[in-house]
Copies of this chain bind each other. A is one copy, B any other.
Amino acid sequence: MIPNKATYRTTPQKKALLSLLRSTKAHPTAAWLFDRLRLEMPDVSQGTVYRNLSVLAEEGVIRVLRNGSAQDRFDADVSEHYHVICESCGKVEDISVNVRTDANSEAERASGYEIHSHRLDFYGVCPDCQRRAAVGDDAE
C-alpha cells in the first residue's frame, strides 16, 4: 500500500522504471525490472522498484497482473486487452480476441455488483513449447 493519497513526484528512478517497462511487451516481473534497472542505476533498491510500481499502478499508468502465489507481472499497456499464459514456460503474451463490450453490463445484471472491469486469461501451451514437446518427447 502507498503511504497516503498525495501528489506524486517525478524522479529519475520512476522515469527509468516506466520507460523500461514500456520498452518490452514481455509483461515482466518486479525482479526482472529490478535487475534491468540496476544496469543503468546500480544503486536502485528493490523497495524503490516495488514502491514505484505501486505508485504507477495507482496513477493508472501501468497495470498489475496478479498471478497467484507466483510473482506479479506488470504491463505498461493499460488499454483493454487479454492475455495468454503458457502453462509450460510461464510466458505471458497479449492476445487479440474480440472484446465483448457488453460483458460488464451483462455481469452487472447477473450479479447485482457494480462492475468496473474484468480480466480474461487463457491458459495453454505456446508454439515454442509445443515444438519442444514434439521433438524431445522424453518427459512424462
Contact = CB atoms under 8 A, between A and B. Distances in A.
A39 interface: no
Contacts of A125: 113-114, 116
Given A69-B66, A72-B69, A127-B113, A107 B84 contact: yes
A84 B115 contact: yes
A6 interface: no
Interface string A96-121: 11101001101110111111111111
Interface residues of A, number: 40
A68 interface: yes
5 closest Cβ contacts across the A-B interface? A66-B68, A115-B124, A113-B124, A107-B122, A118-B122
Interface of A: 64, 66-70, 72, 84, 86-87, 93, 95-98, 100, 103-104, 106-108, 110-127, 130
